[in-house]
Structure 1
Amino acid sequence: MALSNNDIFKKLRVALKLRDDDIVEICALVDFKVTKSELGAIFRAEDHPKYMECGDQFLRNFLNGLVIHKRGVMPKKSDGESK
């Protein structure tokens, strides 16, 4: 059985010891707005009536924000630099 986006998100939250406030701040780094109630719906059990599926865009934005959170903003390359 493959892992769903929800499973991946839950595992990252536990492994990195992130709280809901931390996740909201990480998503804000990439201008992606998320509320604590949305996070609660994503982290619920699949059989719960208020369960929400974590879409690809949601997980992608979180991961992009996590890179900035952990590494910092990537410096801009000047035109003269070789690639």
Structure 2
Amino acid sequence: MALSNNDIFKKLRVALKLRDDDIVEICALVDFKVTKSELGAIFRAEDHPKYMECGDQFLRNFLNGLVIHKRGVMPKKGESKPAATPPPAKK
């Protein structure tokens, strides 16, 4: 049985201990606007009336934002790599 995008997104959220606020910030890194209510719909059970399918574009934007969140912005060709900055401390 194949995993759906929703299943993959849920597993990443649990494995990385991400809250809705964290996911909104990660998506903002790639100029992808998402609301907490949209996230709630994505993380619902499939049989729930307000369930929303996580599309390929949504998951792709989240993963691209996650790369920037974890590694930092990739330098342009010909530029030296900037010093790594630690991720912001959790409150």
Residue by residue, what CA displacement relative to the aligned partner does 1:6-26 show, whole Å, maximum 9, x if unpaired? 000000000000000000000
Question: Could you tell me how far 1:77 is from its partner in structure 2?
Answer: 1.1
Divergent runs of 4+, >3 A? 79-83
Aligned identity (percent) is 94
Partner residue in 1 for 2:57: 57
Q: Per residue, is there more helix in 1 or in 2?
A: 1
Residue by residue, what CA displacement relative to the aligned partner does 1:27-76 show, whole Å, maximum 9, x if unpaired? 00000000000000000000000000000000000000000000000011
Distance in 2 (CA, whole Å) between partners of 1:79 and 1:41 is: 41
Question: Could you tell me how far 1:80 is from its partner in structure 2?
Answer: 12
Q: TM-score, normalised by structure 1?
A: 0.94
Q: TM-score, normalised by structure 2?
A: 0.85
**73-82 or 28-37: bigger deviation:** 73-82
- Give the gaps of 5 or more residues in structure 1: none
- CA RMSD, aligned part only? 6.1
Alignment of 1:14-53 (within 5 A): 14-53=14-53
Distance in 1 (CA, whole Å) between partners of 2:31 and 2:51 is: 24
**71-80 or 45-54: bigger deviation:** 71-80
